[in-house]
Chains A and B, each alone.
Chain A
Amino acid sequence: MTRFDLGYVAGTLPLLWDGMQTTLLLTVVSLVGGLAFGMLLAVLRLSRVKPIALAAASYVNLIRALPLLLLIFWFYFLVPLWLGRPVGGFTSALIGFVLFEAAYFCEIIRSGIQSVRRGQIMAGLGTGLTYAQTMRAIVLPQALRNMLPLLLTESINLFKGTALVYVVGVRDFLTAASIIGTRDNTLVPMYCLVALVYFSLCLAASLSVGRLQRRYAL
């Protein structure tokens, strides 16, 4: 029961691959959505209009104080209520992840922008560039370089975090393995396999982030 049987594992691969596709889809869509909303939040947090900056900051701090699991439950119940129809765990989890990750991306983007010295903006403006040109040509390229490693690390965290959709029964990689393991009484090899796959993917990703960081560090 606990022994690794390669033939058996090979037979479960199609189902596991289905699960992995869900995991990847969830990761990529949450990443894009989270980055877009996070960028908006960062701009709002840096706004000179105090109430806007305060509202964005409160949102970010509230989300960061909560466990992701609680937020997943929140949206699992709230999204169907909002839309007035059942939407399934995947859509709810997706919305939850976008709103959750946006708060973390916001902080990374904000610190990236703030890491560029104010003098550079003034110098840009002083040489006759417009504000938009200064941002595009001077501030953002440097800010992006500074925040890129953190953004990538957070993306890896997001990839690992998507395993939590297990609690609302979305068939991601972990849930698929869990279903197969329960069906065939093979939880031990299944969970070991899941751990191994996650470990290899995340290790490879974090090693390349490290290499990238050393190459592009300012």
Chain B
Amino acid sequence: MRYSWNWSVLTVEPNLGWILSGIEWTILVSLAAWSIAFTWGSVLGIARTVQSPLVRALAGGYVELFRNIPLLVQMFLWYFVLPEVLPQRWGTWLKRDLPDAEFWTAVVCLGLYTACRVCETVRSGIGSISRGQAYAGLATGLTPFQVYLYILLPVGYRIIMPALTTEFLSIFKNSSLALTIGVLELTGQTRRISEYTFQPIEMFLTATALYGLITLTVTALMRVVEGRTRLPGMITVAVQ
């Protein structure tokens, strides 16, 4: 294997700036998508545990729909198909007038996809609480809403903390798919530089190290959060 190393490509302008902007986009896409995924996924997860069979079925259908289509195909559906099937005025707005259209498309796509995974995690968290607790709450005169607010959700979220960490980490990895619709995030930028400079190994090593760094940082932060929120005497559930 013959390869001429040249680490200076890292620091030459504009490469360094491009890498930094790549990191910025990766973090922006991931955090924005996570805020959608967490709120919408929580709503869906709760919906999957309520009494009404209709609400449960709707939430279940959402999960099956988003879980069984490859994320890349979903990305293309949002980016190429949606503007065409919408009424023309909206489609034109999406394609022409919306600033950073690729960014918002990637965020919505990734957020709604991850929501179906968060949903299953939240559902399993609520499901792992023994029924007696909910019955006890109802028997003491709480409304079903209060049972969720004061008993099921506080306990449920503390149980699923490690599983949520896993989902949060996977959103950073999945954000790389945004490059297919033109968001130059970390993977996209390093690929672009490697094509311009013919130094792919240095660039991909850099990307590898940076993704590793993101994973380590998030894991370390979440360790602290998990430690603070752990329920004494409970084994937390890991969800695949």
Contacts and interface: CB of A to CB of B under 8 A. Distances in A.
A and B are partners in one complex rather than unrelated chains: yes
Interface of A: 1-2, 62, 65-70, 73-74, 77-78, 81-82, 84, 150, 153, 160-161, 163-164, 166-167, 174, 178, 187-188, 191-192, 194-195, 198-199, 202-203, 206
Contact of A161 (B70, B176, B191): B70
A154 B99 CA distance: 38
B211 interface: yes
Nearest to B194: A77
Nearest to B72: A163
A78 B204 CA distance: 10
A198 B80 contact: no
Interface in B158-212: 169, 172-177, 179-180, 187, 190-191, 194, 200-201, 204, 207-208, 211-212
B130 interface: no
B13 interface: no
A67 B132 CA distance: 42
A188 B85 contact: yes
B68 A69 contact: no
Q: Among the interface residues B73, B172, B200, B240, which one has the most CB atoms of the partner chain A within 10 A?
A: B73
Contacts of A192: 77, 81
Interface residues of B, number: 41
A68 B215 CA distance: 14
B128 to A, nearest CB: 16
Majority secondary structure, B binding face: helix
Interface of B: 1, 3, 64-65, 67-74, 76-77, 80-81, 84-85, 169, 172-177, 179-180, 187, 190-191, 194, 200-201, 204, 207-208, 211-212, 215-216, 240
A191 B179 contact: no
A134 B184 CA distance: 53
A195 B180 contact: no
Contacts of A78: 200-201
Nearest to B68: A202
B70 A198 contact: yes
Greatest chain B CB density within 10 A among A2, A67, A150, A202 is at A67
A208 B69 CA distance: 17
A73 B204 CA distance: 8
A198 B85 contact: no
B211 A164 contact: no
Given A150-B240, A191-B80, A167 B180 contact: yes
Nearest to A76: B200
Contacts of B73: 163, 174, 191, 194-195, 198
A70 B211 contact: yes
Contacts of A62: 208, 212
Nearest to B219: A65
A174 B72 contact: yes
8 contacts: A66-B208, A70-B190, A70-B207, A77-B204, A150-B240, A166-B72, A195-B73, A206-B67
Contacts of A82: 1
B179 to A, nearest CB: 7
Contacts of B72: 163-164, 166, 174
A1 B81 CA distance: 12
